[in-house]
Amino acid sequence: MTITIIAGARPNFMKIAPIIEAIKQKQSEGVALNYQLIHTGQHYDKNLSDTFFEELNIPFPDINLDVKSGTQAEQTGAIMIGFEKVLAGNPTDLVMVVGDVTSTMACTIVAKKAGIKVAHVEAGIRSGDLNMPEEINRIVTDSLTDYFFTTTPLASQTLEDLGVPKNQIYFVGNVMIDTLLKNEDRLQQPELYKTLQLQEKKYMVMTLHRPSNVDEEQQLKALITQLAQLGKDYPIIFPVHPRTKKLLEGLNLNFDNLHYVAPLGYLEFNYLVKNAFAVLTDSGGITEETTVMHVPCITLRDSTERPETCTIGTNVLVGNDPEKIADAFEKLFSGDWKKGEIPELWDGHAAKRIINHLVDIYKS
């Protein structure tokens, strides 16, 4: 059996690392299981791409489509054209896609048109917000998938409600948490920790990249201004995404406690998160990591595809509503933040479950 694994953007790399490790474990046990790794090149910043392969001990890709940046349509089209050629020259039994990035959707469509079965890792999650490109990617991918691997019982139920047969849905846990738990002892203090004289639980980490937050200049300016002011004398460390950097350059937003830094690798970024007083973000994946590390998280979105981080974990949704943001900071500084628990099966063994299921499926 040969599995073609797709990686396109930073969140994918953390998810494929434990899957490849689980495949190698099966190979060492004598199971005839092979894989080929395709990197679509959707993320083009070295710190958001190559670094993750190096840090997480992921083999460098067998093929890189080298798609780079572009509009949604440009990237989707380029990935589909490139991946169709790959499949024509590299036969496979199964295409495995992870998450909800453009590459996930594009490669799923190509695989199905080529008559190849698709496994979707992190299937069934939904935000209900069709303004998010990722939500469209999820819907399209799950409408074509053959084997659905879910992170939560809610995601499994969502798929059942959509008519997916129960015997195609596998609740396995969260592969991104597999990677976090494996690397927790390897996290590295970044140089900026000493340069900025940071102290444990005495600073915050911020990430912003959603179009709803960063595409409109006045909205971005108001949001960053409020966050910096509410942060009091706590340093706010802001690794700046390439998308956001262009916008920030023209806004002249300077606050004593706000520090713009270059994008960080996985081990350094999660060191900052683990030791932070709180995280301010509009990312979905980071809310999962803060939940497992018991770090308070304020999510600057109105909806989430990971509601378990709110109902079980340490996350609170505030959107970009100034009143809700202020209330969250008040709760944070009063020491009244919820402690949170870790969701079921977020135990570091999700990838092993996925590969065990696939071996069983293909044996039968």
Written as tens digits, the pLDDT of the chain (364 aa) is 999 999 988 889 899 999 999 999 999 999 999 999 999 988 756 555 667 788 888 888 999 999 988 899 999 999 999 999 999 999 999 999 999 999 999 999 999 999 999 999 999 999 999 999 999 999 999 999 999 999 999 999 999 999 999 999 999 999 999 999 999 999 999 999 999 999 999 999 999 988 778 778 888 899 999 999 999 999 999 998 766 777 777 788 889 999 999 889 999 999 999 999 999 999 999 999 999 999 999 999 999 999 999 999 999 999 999 999 999 999 999 999 999 999 999 999 999 999 999 999 998 7
290 and 254 both lie in a single domain: yes
Q: With respect to residue 22, please indicate whether it lies within any of the assigned structural domains.
A: yes
Residues 269 and 291 in one domain: yes
Contacts of 92 by beta carbon, 8 Å cutoff, 6+ apart:
2, 3, 4, 36, 116
Question: Do 350 and 203 sit in the same domain of this protein?
Answer: no
Q: How many CA atoms lie within 13 A of 242 on its CB side?
A: 12
Q: By the 8 A CB rule, do 279 and 290 touch?
A: yes
Residue 103 CA neighbour count, 13 Å, CB half: 28
209 in active site: yes
Q: Give which of 233, 189, 227 is closest to 326, Cα–Cα.
A: 227
Residue 19: give the domain boundaries: 2-174+346-363
Residue type, 214: V
Identify any residues that bridge with 7 across adjacent strands, giving them in sequence order: 39
Identify whether residues 330 and 352 lie together within a single domain.
no
User: Is 341 contained in some domain?
Assistant: no
Q: Are residues 166 and 202 in the same domain?
A: no
In a domain, 251, yes or no: yes
Amino acid identity, residue 234?
Y
Which of 304, 316, 309 has its CA nearest to residue 343? 309
Out of 209, 259, 294, 357, pick the active-site residue: 209
Domain membership flag for residue 53: yes
Amino acid found at 179: T
229 plus 112 within the same structural domain: no
Whether 147 and 50 map to the same domain: the answer is yes
Is there a single domain that holds both residue 150 and residue 208? no
> Is the residue at 181 inside a domain?
no
Is residue 182 situated within a structural domain? no
Contact in structure between 105 and 9 (CB atoms under 8 Å): no
* β-bridge mates for residue 3, sequence order: 35, 94
CA distance 168 to 150: 11
Residues 6+ apart with CB under 8 A from 257: 228, 231, 232, 233, 234, 235, 236
Residue 26, classed as helix, strand or coil, is helix
CATH, residue 268: 3.40.50.2000
362 vs 2, 144, 338, 347, 359, CA distance in Å?
A: 10, 19, 44, 26, 5
Same domain, 125 and 17: yes
Total tally of structural domains belonging to the chain: 2
**Length in residues, the chain:** 364
Percent over 90 (pLDDT), the chain: 83
Predicted confidence (pLDDT) per residue in 247-278, tens digit: 777 788 889 999 999 889 999 999 999 999 99
Q: Is residue 185 part of a domain?
A: no
Question: Do both 143 and 203 map to the same domain?
Answer: no
Name the pTM for this structure.
Answer: 0.95
Residues 53 and 130 in one domain: yes
Owner of token pair 């997480």 = 56
Question: Does residue 49 belong to any structural domain of this protein?
Answer: yes
Residues 319 and 351 in one domain: no
- Interatomic CA distance for residues 120 and 100, integer angstroms: 9
